[in-house]
Amino acid sequence: MAKILNNKKRISLLLLSLMMIVTVCSFNSMSPKLTLFNNGTIYIDADNKVNNLLVKDGIVVGYDVDPQKYQNAEIIDLNGAAAYPGFIDSHVHLISMAVAGSILVPTGEETDPTKIATIVGDRCKKVSRGTPVMAHGFVL
């Protein structure tokens, strides 16, 4: 009987140890993922650029941080590329940005970017330097 109780204690101790190991492993896997983006042109709004951007579990939590404080973060080198974090709307509707007195260049229903560039480029060669030129009608 004492042997059975001794085995139950051992099994209970083993199960308790396994539960503790699983708990510790789960806690480690739940630690936040930090990512530090640097070496690029990072816009945080239309007028402001920052040197780096710190992201925690997919959410921007800081910018222009001291990289030495985040040595455990995954470092993403942007290699000089531009970054627009979040939902910054970085597109422009060229037609709505029309300049009064600009030269309009119809491009029809052209969809080939190379052909569009050629059409617009040919027209630009025929106008005075500095004259605004606006293409319209293309679909990309």
Q: What is the pLDDT of residues 90-138, one digit of tens each?
A: 566 655 554 444 566 777 777 788 888 888 888 888 888 877 777 666 5
| Residue 135: predicted pLDDT | 66
- Alpha-carbon span 15 to 11, nearest angstrom: 6
Backbone φ and ψ of 16, nearest 5°: -65, -40
Q: Could you tell me the pTM of the whole model? A: 0.44
Percent of the chain with pLDDT over 90: 26
Judge whether 87 and 74 are in contact, CB under 8 Å: no
- Concatenated DSSP letters for 9-23? HHHHHHHHHHHHHHH
